[in-house]
Structure 1
Amino acid sequence: MTMVLFRQVPVASPIHSLWAGTKMIAAFLLSLVLMFWPTWLVLGAVIVFLLVIGVVARLPLNTLPRLPLVFWVLIAIGALLNAPVGSQSVLNYCRILVFGLVLVTASFLIAWTTPMGEIAPALAKLGAPLRKLRLPVDEWAVVVALMLRSLPLLLEEIRILRAARKLRPKDRLLERAADAALIDILTAAMAVATRRASELGEAITARGGTGQLTAHPSSPTRRDAVALAVVVAVCLGSVALDWVI
């Protein structure tokens, strides 16, 4: 089973049919609530809400990324470093860790349920008021959209480069250099990324420039208003419950 990262999962669900801007606003509201009320109760409520969103979106279990063992080892080391300070320090460390994972999961849910072609138009529409300040809203939206679209391609190229390097004859001199494999892969990845960027720029120019990326018509509907109302209710309800308890 392959890991899906920053790619839409091709299933039909109510979450997939929502406007991309609605999902980004929802993620912003959840992050705003967790920023000012990062209690365990609010964190738990948001986690349950995200799990419900994943179920409603009909996301398969293999969509979740498999984190390497090194990640968990580093987390354990961080907890051990905070242990001598006291149990409260460890709890705060765990709270910050869960807070970060929740924000990352919310971002992944947007990517898993949204076509990448709808990100730039949604960002341009949400940032429309900033145009009055003469800010390059369309350019920012294009940069974000291209980054999200190119990152999975770059990760796939790195996997191919790693697999190709494993097939090379073993060299004892290269094996002695601990950073040799990493340097080779990063150098090749930079070359591939430069070539892809050049090809992508030529393709965008041939299709009429970056303005075409933000010209896709997209706007919220009644279901988006209902979805935002649910998100606001979850945020206010979790804060109110935490305040009472």
Structure 2
Amino acid sequence: MSTVLFRQVPVASPVHSLWAGTKMIGAFLISLLLMFLPTWPVLGIMIAFLVLIGLLARLPLGTLPRLPWWFWALLVAGGLINVPVGGHAVLRYAQVVVFGLIMVAASLLVAWTTPMSDIAPALARLGAPLRKIRVPVDEWAVVVALTLRGLPLLMDEIRVLRAARKLRPKDGVLYLATENALIDILTAAMAVSTRRAGELGEAITARGGTGELTAHPGAPGRRDAVALIVVTVVCAGSYAMGMSLT
């Protein structure tokens, strides 16, 4: 399964050239719209809009994640559970599922078209007004930056742990005592993550703190203004259409 997560797809496109904060604001506007009006017409418009953004971003088909069969089986099982309640419950469940998939797709589009190193500086810039009320914006942005940096490392560590567990001999008391693969891998991953977090904290303290998020912080431009206007118009038009059909 070749899934690209938390990594920028290295292609040139108008979406890639946008400021990271612009894309995060666009995702927020879409989530805000669907939170208040998750009707089928609005969901359909948002799906078409995200597909259009994906085409503008020139993302190859191989970027799309290949979800395992059990994921779709769980979705079908959830729908079957709602069947005895009635058709309305099934439709509501389907709306919730589509809403969740749209939000995941919007988040992945941001990740696929944005260097992860640009996310935290953009968050710090967007949250700059909150500094006036003594909100620790910079500290939160550093936490986000470290989290984004650590997630790929954690995924690689889990792959190594899975491979190491498969190489263990399948006989003996040790294997019988820990025959639950999920518990073994999660326990080992938590232990490794805790150790690395401690080492990272000591390294940051030894260097005198977190320092600057980036030497060359990005800033919005004319393209970003046009992009936000387009997203706002699409969201406002979807809201008006959804209200007229309800």
Q: Normalized against structure 1, the TM-score is what?
A: 0.92
Contact 1:138/1:211 (<8 A) preserved: no
User: What is the rounded CA distance, in whole Å, between the counterparts of 2:103 and 2:163 in structure 1?
Assistant: 32
Task: Find the counterpart in structure 2 of residue 19 from structure 1.
Answer: 19
Residue 11 to residue 195, structure 1, CA distance change in 2 (3 Å): farther
1:10 matched residue in structure 2:
10
Q: Equivalents in 1 of 2:153, 2:129: separation in Å? A: 33
Matched residue pairs, number?
A: 245
**Alignment deviations for residues 91-140 of structure 1 (CA, whole Å, 9 cap, x no partner):** 00000111011111111111111111111110011111111111111111
Q: Which residue of 2 aligns with 1:80?
A: 80
Cα deviations by residue, 1:35-83 (Å, 9 ceiling, x for unpaired): 1111101001011111111111111222222222222222111111110
Counterpart contact for 1:38–1:95, Cα < 8 Å: yes
Long gaps (5+) in structure 1: none
In structure 1, the partner of 2:50 is 50
1:232 equivalent to 2:232? Answer yes
Letter matched to residue 242 of structure 2: D
Deviations 1:164-188 (A, max 9, x none): 2112221265665686322221222
Tell me whether 1:155 sits opposite 2:155 in the alignment. yes
Give the superposition deviation at 1:214: 5.5
Secondary structure at 1:12's aligned position in 2?
coil
Which SS does the other structure have where 1:70 is aligned?
helix
The within-5 A match list for 1:162-241 is: 162-171=162-171, 180-201=180-201, 204=204, 209-213=209-213, 216-241=216-241
Q: Which amino acid aligns with 2:15?
A: I
Looking at structure 2, the residues matched to 16 and 3 of structure 1 have their Cα atoms a distance apart, in angstroms, of: 19
Structure 2 stretches of 5 or more lacking a match? none
Q: Name the counterpart of 2:244.
A: 244
1:198 CA drift (Å): 3.8
Identity level (%): 71
Which moved further from structure 2: 79-88 or 208-217? 208-217
**Whole-Å separation in 1 of the counterparts to 2:7 and 2:236:** 31
Contact 1:18 1:223 in 2 (8 A): yes
Change (3 A) 1:116 1:207: farther
Q: Distance in 1 between matches of 2:229 and 2:16?
A: 17
Asked if the contact 1:124–1:214 (Cα under 8 Å) also holds between the matched residues in 2, the reply is no
Q: Is the Cα contact below 8 Å between 1:138 and 1:214 reproduced in 2?
A: no
Deviation, structure 1 residue 192: 2.3
* Root-mean-square deviation (Å): 2.1
CA contact (8 A) 1:158 1:189 kept: yes
Residues 83 and 190 (structure 1), Cα distance of their counterparts in 2 relative to 1, 3 Å cut: same
Using the size of structure 2 for normalisation, the TM-score is: 0.91
Going from structure 1 to structure 2, the CA distance change for 1:33 and 1:205 (only over 3 Å counts) comes to: same
Is this contact kept in 1: 2:2–2:66, CA < 8 A?
no
Distance in 2 between residues matched to 1:123 and 1:214, nearest whole Å: 12
1:114 alignment partner, SS class: coil
Q: Which moved further from structure 2: 203-212 or 44-53?
A: 203-212
Cα distance in 1, alignment partners of residues 45 and 179 from structure 2: 43
Query: Structure 2 vs 1, CA of residues 227 and 71 (structure 1 numbering), >3 Å: closer, same or farther?
Result: same
> 1:174 and 1:97 mapped to 2: Cα distance?
41
CA distance in 1, matches of 2:58, 2:202: 37
Q: What code does the residue aligned with 1:187 have?
A: T
Q: Is the 8 A contact 1:21 1:123 kept in 2?
A: yes
CA distance change for structure 1 residues 200 and 16 in 2, over 3 Å: closer, same or farther? farther
